[in-house]
Amino acid sequence: MIRPAELIERKRNGEELPADEISELILGYARGEIPDYQLAAFCMAVYFRGMTPAETYALTDAMIRSGRTLDLGAALGRKVVDKHSTGGVGDKTTIAVGPIVAACGVPVGKMSGRGLGHTGGTLDKLESIPGFSVDLSVDDFIGQVKEVGLAIVGQTDDLVPADKKLYGLRDVTGTVDILPLIASSIMSKKIAGGADAIVLDVKVGDGAFMKTLEDARALAETMLELGEQAGREVVCLLTDMDQPLGAAVGNSLEIAEARDTVRGEGPPDFTELVLDACARLLALSDLGIDEDEGRRRAEAAVGDGSALGVYERWIRAQGGDPDPEALPRAPVVLPVRAPRAGSVVRLGAIAVGMAALHLGAGRRTKEDAIDHSVGILCHVKRGESVADGDVLAEVHARDEASGDEAVAAVLAAYELGDEPPREHPILLDVVS
């Protein structure tokens, strides 16, 4: 039997802990035998002392063993690919990638989470579609993946319950942005969910956990190693999160943008990320093709309308109305105008995310209700130029007062300068 207080002290003093003790700590916590305050202290000790690769693997393995695991591959008789993002502002990638990959003949069954922070998570975004249900039994989930090629549902409570509990605790104890804890949290869910091959989108910059390319690379390498130790193929894309992804930030606005992207009308940065992720997922799948061919097939599925067809069948299968006109709309729409001519040298992702949160698009606490209709459309992005008075962005608000506040906040997120217009690539690096 471990003594948690002694384990915390040893970690605090910089000792490497053996796998069986980490396992007992995590499983004891998941069973409710070890209190929150001891795990909070343990996480803070990890913040200061880090974890060795062996400790990180032991933590991940214990998290996986805290609940049930899924073998989606056996149920489908196919190699299963999955994608995951470390999270950012305006990140609706899964909602566009899923239908395109499925239209290329690779089934996608994904368990997603809710968001705490600026905007909702994938599930919250999907719930802005009238009628859409994210609660499917495991049998219905598998049945839908077989029939439609795509299902996105809420993570069941028995899949990595230790992470659910620990993530909630980390969220309120200043222990979220700790590399080994993020890596084990993400990889335990991907491995327990049954993915054979995983594309990880590691966000870098102002709106991400990892602020620098160096930190993002370290997180990517740790996740890659965890995946390989568990016998999974992993590719990590390091992508820009210094500004919001695409134009839309806010739940129903993001759904509309994801649908536009599936039919080839999305914003350039988001479209590029989506097609790149699709190409890599297809190359990892059992189709036996390389990335170039994956990219060609993804573009073809967008161009010929087959991806939109899958999108519509998927939304209907989960009870939703795929018509974009059915999405909730905010009653007040206000422009954010450029105060001068120039080019955008900065568009703060966090500032836009916080403005969306204040409009009601996200949650401050787990109990908060989300307003699916509100949000921000950033029409002009970094490197683009505008004339004095041009519309930079649009605020969608539930009333004039909150709208006016958001207009001021979004305006402050834009910095205009005199640099010549230039492109900012979305893909910064690949770790594989």
Closest CA to 298 of 101, 109, 84, 105: 101
Q: How far apart are CA 68 and CA 64, in angstroms?
A: 8
Closest CA to 27 of 191, 162, 186, 170: 162
Least distance CB 215 / ligand URA (angstroms)? 13
Give me the residue whose beta carbon is nearest to ligand URA: 185
Nearer to ligand URA, 181 or 356 (CB): 181
DSSP H or E stretch at residue 375: strand 375-378
Identify the residue among 182, 236, 350, 410 touching ligand URA (CB under 6 A).
Answer: 182
Give the single-character DSSP code of 431: E
Our finding on whether 200 is near ligand URA (CB under 6 A) is: no
Our finding on whether 111 is near ligand URA (CB under 6 A) is: no
Least distance CB 186 / ligand URA (angstroms)? 5
Identify the residue among 86, 94, 251, 306 touching ligand URA (CB under 6 A).
Answer: 86
- The helices-and-strands tally (H runs, E runs) of the chain is 17, 13
Stretch that binds ligand URA, among 178-186, 281-289, 292-300, 354-362 (CB under 6 A): 178-186
Please list the residues that pair with 351 across neighbouring strands.
none
Nearer to ligand URA, 91 or 371 (CB): 91
Least distance CB 127 / ligand URA (angstroms)? 19
Nearer to ligand URA, 167 or 414 (CB): 167
Give the single-character DSSP code of 245: S
Strand order in the sheet with 197-204: 81-85, 197-204, 233-240, 427-431
Our finding on whether 59 is near ligand URA (CB under 6 A) is: no
Identify the residue among 179, 186, 284, 392 touching ligand URA (CB under 6 A).
Answer: 186
411 and 352 in contact (C-beta within 8 Å)? Answer: no
**Which conformational region is residue 331 in: left (phi greater than 0), alpha (psi within -120 to 50 degrees), or beta?**
alpha
**Which conformational region is residue 137 in: left (phi greater than 0), alpha (psi within -120 to 50 degrees), or beta?**
beta
* Amino acid of residue 9: E
83 and 94 in contact (C-beta within 8 Å)? Answer: yes
Nearer to ligand URA, 115 or 294 (CB): 115
Stretch that binds ligand URA, among 99-107, 182-190, 301-309, 420-428 (CB under 6 A): 182-190
Q: Which residues are catalytic?
A: 84, 163, 170, 185, 189
Least distance CB 156 / ligand URA (angstroms)? 15
- The phi, psi pair for 21, rounded to 5°, reads -75, -40
Nearer to ligand URA, 186 or 351 (CB): 186
Nearer to ligand URA, 188 or 252 (CB): 188
Identify the residue among 4, 28, 87, 375 touching ligand URA (CB under 6 A).
Answer: 87
Our finding on whether 185 is near ligand URA (CB under 6 A) is: yes
In the range 135-174, which residues lie near ligand URA by CB under 6 A?
Answer: 167
**Count of residues that interact with ligand URA, criterion CB under 6 A:** 7
* Amino acid of residue 275: L
Q: How far apart are CA 333 and CA 297, in angstroms?
A: 38
Tokens matching residue 234: 């992993």
Which residues of the shown chain bind ligand URA in the complex (CB under 6 A)? 86-87, 167, 181-182, 185-186
